[in-house]
Structure 1
Amino acid sequence: MERIEGWKHGEELSKIFAKCNISGSSAVLHVAPDYTLLALATKGIEPDVIWQFDIGFEKTANQFFRHNPPTPGEVENAIMVVEDEVMQVSKLIPAGTHLFSFDVAVKEIYAQLEPYQQSSARLLYRHDVEAIFGRLSTIISGRPVSSDTLPQTATFAAALLILREVMFHLGFDEVTLCD
């Protein structure tokens, strides 16, 4: 994990904070192929701090997943590394901070909800992420891949794992999807 000072994309994140009508203590999550960013704003739309984690959906998939679907051991190894990365900032996130994301990967996870579970506010709750991860876990444990509609890629599994660990270990109850 690296704290980014004066990061060149800070201005872009400020635009995202403004576009998503973000106010109060808020964070924007960006899961990229080779890294994950978490920008925290407590006083408006300018990020107070931006952290870059050494985890991304392609990097994590390539580093840990040798099988498709990944094995339980591969997933456990990935969880340990992702957890170690995000836990470094766990005490730095104020209680009640709301999480936002504009990522295609997070939107793909949201799309796994049943239509009746999807809200006009485009909220993805932690218990929904856990339920989707549970579906992945049953496939990893031997359930036929064809018995579920989850995307069958290692990058989807890695993005789901990263989102799950961020939400759980940093105390986010939900993530709001922004366009």
Structure 2
Amino acid sequence: MNNVSIKFTENSTILLNCVGGNITLNIGYQTLINKYIKASLPTPYETENIIMIIEDEIARVAVTLPTINKLVSDDSHLKEMINYLHSGNSITTTQVELLFNQFADVISGSPMPVNLPNTLSFIVILIIVRELLHHLNIEGVEVF
């Protein structure tokens, strides 16, 4: 099983210990917030723009990546996702998608679910994780 560590910084997302070393994606959560989000929650249009930027960056590095089964991290935002879903120490791709869909509903006008984390950094990291899991066929994320 090939598990890869992930680290989120304000200016980049880093996949650690890949074959050949670390892979840096030029998609930092704070950079995306500063450049694309104008209010306390992203609009559907802003969300789509962020998704396109992330997809382009994933496409740039995808050919250099090994097959990744699971992402592992000690990131507090990932722990917050897992705690919200009451899922032990891991979260599946399906659970990430369900969580993203809750945010999609909120930014489309539905009420905010109770206790749903809603900081911009949390939302953008959720989008980054969702896109990584989806486009790289990764099973999920585990925190330690």
Q: Note the alpha carbon deviations across 1:120-144, whole angstroms, 9 max, x for none.
A: xx11100000000000000000012
8 Å Cα contact 2:18/2:66 also seen in 1 = no
2:34 is aligned to: 62
Q: Does 2:74 match 1:102? A: yes
- Structure label with greater radius of gyration: 1
Q: SS where residue 63 of structure 2 aligns?
A: helix
Q: 1:80 aligns with which of 38, 49, 52?
A: 52
Q: SS where residue 92 of structure 1 aligns?
A: coil
- Structure 2 segments unaligned to the other structure (5+ residues): none
Q: Percent identity?
A: 29
| C-alpha RMSD over aligned residues | 1.7
Q: Note the alpha carbon deviations across 1:25-55, whole angstroms, 9 max, x for none.
A: 331111112211012445xxxxx32111111
Provide the C-alpha distance between the structure 1 equivalents of 2:81 and 2:63, rounded to a whole number of angstroms.
Answer: 26
1:176 is aligned to: 142
- Structure 1 segments unaligned to the other structure (5+ residues): 1-23, 43-47
Aligned length: 144
1:1-179 residue pairs with structure 2 within 5 A?
24-42=1-19, 48-95=20-67, 97-113=69-85, 115=86, 118-119=87-88, 122-145=89-112, 147-178=113-144
Provide the C-alpha distance between the structure 1 equivalents of 2:79 and 2:68, rounded to a whole number of angstroms.
Answer: 23
